[in-house]
Amino acid sequence: MDAQSLETMTAMTAPPFGAADAMAFVDLPAPVAGAGELRVRVTAIGINRVDIMQRSGSYPPPPGASPVLGVEFAGEVDSVGTAAGDYRPGDRVFGLVASGAYAERLVVDHRHVVPTPADWDDTKAASVIETFCTAHETLFELGRLAAGERVLIHAAGSAVGTAAVQMARHAGATVIGTAGADAKIAGARQLGAEHVINYKTTEFADAVLELFPDGIDLVEDFVGSSYFQRHLKILRRRGRIVQVGLLAAGPAEIDTAPILSKRLVVRGFTLRPQNAEEKAGIVERFRRHWMPRLEDGTVKPVIHAVLGYADLREAHRIIEANENFGKVIVTVP
């Protein structure tokens, strides 16, 4: 029997779905790298809202996924399966998994990782790929955002929102954001949003049309059906909506006539359930378009807090309470 198959590790699961205190550390067999896979010793975890949704029972993991939470990590390769590219034990990487990042070890498709730059620490590396991949796919691949266009980015203080604001500005777009706290509004402006609307005190659609009476070109929406009619109202001809999240999921009565009359396009995206080939393409596009900009500092990950492994429940609480501006990271000893 391979010695690796006898190893155990500590991991975090949430089998009785519920509040953050439902999460529990358990001892599990450490995974073994298969063909095309790397095994990584995890040193930092990016905490994402999808983790909170899985823990609460509102977002079941994809079929075949591990019960261990977590989709984003940084760490060091400690073993390599066959046909796993040029990676070697000791290489530092960051990447994406469908599940299993809240653990001391994980296995990952070698196409779903990126080498960590030598001058980055693992905390920074764990803060990047989920947010920048999501923002790139939604703004540019699906949203077709171009220089000179206008984009509304909801949740501009969220991890994806802070990346999307910077990326849209870098592309030459005019950025309008929404946020619900003064500190987040100020932070989004510092990242490049020309206009930031407090959605708690102002009707955002009216504010957008006051700024731009002829409308805008793209909406990146994390909210869902309760905003949909207002988005149809503020988009100009050939405008686009990309649905990224469902913070206010539920049915709504919609007049779809503007979709026809203005030739609007509605697209949807979530990163986690993409198949292995699709995810490999997403990672490669991120690597090609944004790693150079991240390495030269043109765009930067925004980190709200760095916590220890024992504080995973507190990391969930911060995000669930919408206290974070940017990413929450947990380090693994």
Give the pLDDT confidence of 147-200 residue by residue, as tens digits. 999 999 999 999 999 999 999 999 999 999 999 999 999 999 999 999 999 999
pTM over cut 0.85: yes
Q: How confident is the model at residue 250 (pLDDT cuts 50, 70, 90)?
A: low
pLDDT > 80? residue 138: yes
Beta bridge mates, 33: none
pLDDT > 50? residue 64: yes
Q: Percent of the chain having pLDDT more than 90?
A: 87
Largest CA distance in the chain: 70
Q: Determine the Cα–Cα distance for residues 331 and 102; give it in Å rounded to an integer.
A: 10
Structure-block tokens of residue 198 = 């407090």
Q: Determine the Cα–Cα distance for residues 129 and 79; give it in Å rounded to an integer.
A: 22
pLDDT > 50? residue 45: yes
Domain(s) labelled CATH 3.90.180.10 in the chain stretch across 3-128+301-331
The whole-number pLDDT of residue 1 equals 37
Domain(s) labelled CATH 3.40.50.720 in the chain stretch across 131-268
User: Looking at this protein, which amino acid is placed at residue 311?
Assistant: D
The mean per-residue pLDDT over the stretch 276-280 comes to: 98
Q: Is-contact 70 49, C-beta < 8 A?
A: no
**Residue for token pair 């990126």:** 114
**Residue for token pair 């686009």:** 240
Q: Is-contact 35 81, C-beta < 8 A?
A: yes
**Residue for token pair 């519920």:** 18
* Distance (Å) of CA 158 to CA 112, 162, 281: 23, 6, 24
The whole-number pLDDT of residue 4 equals 56
Q: Is-contact 143 151, C-beta < 8 A?
A: yes
131-268: in CATH 3.40.50.720 = yes
The whole-number pLDDT of residue 247 equals 67
**Long-range contacts of 273-279, Cβ-Cβ distance < 8 Å, separation of 24 or more:** 273/62, 273/98, 276/109, 276/111, 276/112, 279/96, 279/109, 279/111, 279/112
Q: Is-contact 128 139, C-beta < 8 A?
A: no
Write out pLDDT tens, residues 282-330. Answer: 999 999 999 999 999 999 999 999 999 999 999 999 999 999 999 999 9
Beta bridge mates, 38: 80, 108
Closest CA to 220 of 210, 202, 209, 235: 235
Closest CA to 322 of 162, 184, 169: 184
* Distance (Å) of CA 327 to CA 125, 138, 143: 11, 18, 23
Tell me the Ramachandran region of residue 105: left when phi exceeds 0, alpha when psi lies from -120 to 50, beta otherwise.
beta
- Residue 283 is classified by DSSP as H
Q: Determine the Cα–Cα distance for residues 278 and 178; give it in Å rounded to an integer.
A: 30
pLDDT, averaged across the chain: 94
Q: Is 330 helix (H, G, I), strand (E, B) or coil?
A: strand
Q: What is the CATH number of domain 3-128+301-331?
A: 3.90.180.10
Q: Percent of the chain having pLDDT more than 70?
A: 97
Q: How confident is the model at residue 63 (pLDDT cuts 50, 70, 90)?
A: confident
